[in-house]
Amino acid sequence: MSKILVFGHQNPDTDATASAYGWAYLERTAWGRDAEAVLLGEPNEETAFALHYFGVEAPRVVENATVEGVNQVILTDHNEFQQSIADIRDLEVLAVVDHHRVANFETANPLYMRLEPVGSASSIVYRASKEAGVDLPREVAGLLLSGLISDTLLLKSPTTHASDPQVAKELAEIAGVNLEEYGLALLKAGTNLASKSAEELIDIDAKTFELNGNPVRVAQVNTVDIAEVLERQEEIEAAMVEAMGTENYSDFVLMITDIVQSNSEILALGANMDKVEAAFNFKLENHHAFLPGAVSRKKQVVPRLTESFNN
């Protein structure tokens, strides 16, 4: 069998990176396949912290699999084609390992799919390693732990599954870290926004969702001070408008999430602001509104937007 590329979604976050790295390790170790973890973009600061902490070289960035001479791929932490590699429709998808909704997805051939409503794709990879009888080395366990911490905000997000705390405990033990101490350090590493341009800020963790025919960009940034981010509202909005014009998004929704207080501010622009307001039962004032208790794009924002856009 030729080489298989394993990757998470575009604008890779820590879970996308870790789950791809971990699943590629399983493909090689448990099943003897020639699998390589790659990224569909440069790692963010949080992910870079985890890679450095556990002594892992960042996987190389790939924009097109076909030019690599590869035609078989495995997707982790995503399944929607608009979030995947540029030539995804020309490739054979061998497997999907994900914890998100399934949408805009079809293949010509049968495939392995492992979809579970847990806190992270990394959680799924870890359980698969136990089922396969594979003992993970420290660096793989450390990255999987980082993916779980990142996606669940250290097990505080409503996306946290009942099984995730035990997964985190076991991974922390293998990785040789204190869960709370390492988790806080990891999350804080991803809140350094001052050095980023507005264009970089709105693209740190952004995904496009087709909502009733509308391409809606939903981005999220984590911070410890929402007001500090809103001080840059004018330049952030300019970047959002430019992105909408360039990429033909109908709407752009930015979650500014306070990881300490577990709340978010929603900053939104576009053609369907009435639907955004209806989704969250609030009124946008100067294009933004407070959304108490919201920390999860997957569970608390996208489903409500989907319902509103479909009504």
Binding residue ranges for Mn(2+): 9, 13, 15, 77, 99, 151
CA neighbor of 202 nearest in space, from 245, 151, 241 = 241
Give the tokens for residue 254.
């930015």
Binding-site positions: 9, 13, 15, 77, 99, 151
| Cβ contact 16:67 at 8 Å | no
H-only helix segments in the chain: 14-29, 45-53, 121-131, 138-152, 164-175, 179-189, 198-201, 226-230, 233-247, 273-280, 302-310
CA dist 129 and 135 (Å) reads: 7
CA dist 215 and 139 (Å) reads: 37
CA neighbor of 113 nearest in space, from 75, 142, 170 = 75
Residue 90 burial class via C-beta count within 10 angstroms: exposed 0-12, middle 13-18, buried 19 and up: exposed
Strands in 112-115's sheet, in edge-to-edge order, are 35-37, 4-7, 72-76, 92-98, 112-115
